[in-house]
Structure 1
Amino acid sequence: MLDAVRYVADNGVKWANVPTSIPPYPRVHAFARRWQVTGRLAELHDRLRGKVREKEGRSPDPTAAIVDSPSVRAAANIPRPTSG
């Protein structure tokens, strides 16, 4: 089941397009949905991130974040001081 979830996430395919070597997609999708609703997918992601960071010799938890907003050209009728 986990391989199927990883396959969909990694390849960006639809659930119906997973290979036949993976269990039927309705069953896998139900598991993935349940894991998402209960927070298990987020927990799995956080644990794996921590393991990768430790393997690289870093702290398991990130200590900083970068927040960036894209620069978008505003319409001509929007005042310059109020646009980003």
Structure 2
Amino acid sequence: MQVYREILPNSYLVILVESAPAATDAGLLRSALRQASRSGKEQVWLDCSGISFLPLDMLPILTRYGRMAAPPTYLPGCVSPAGHCCRY
């Protein structure tokens, strides 16, 4: 997985793009969300449309950041292995 970041005028966008699986995928997501949460932006958007599924080891990371003061907003398009859309 590759993680791209885009700082927008009023929000912060984190984009997930599929690539060869790597042991550092969860660490990349954690780092991107940490950086986004410290950006001072009111909203954080997580675009999952570039991946076919969200690995289970990333769910605790998303849960943790979903509980912060300005929780991330997830864009539709991320499909889990069970075929359900992962929205938070």
Higher relative contact order (CA 8 A, sep 6+): 2
Higher helix share: 1
TM-score by length of 1: 0.26
TM-score by length of 2: 0.25
Higher strand share: 2
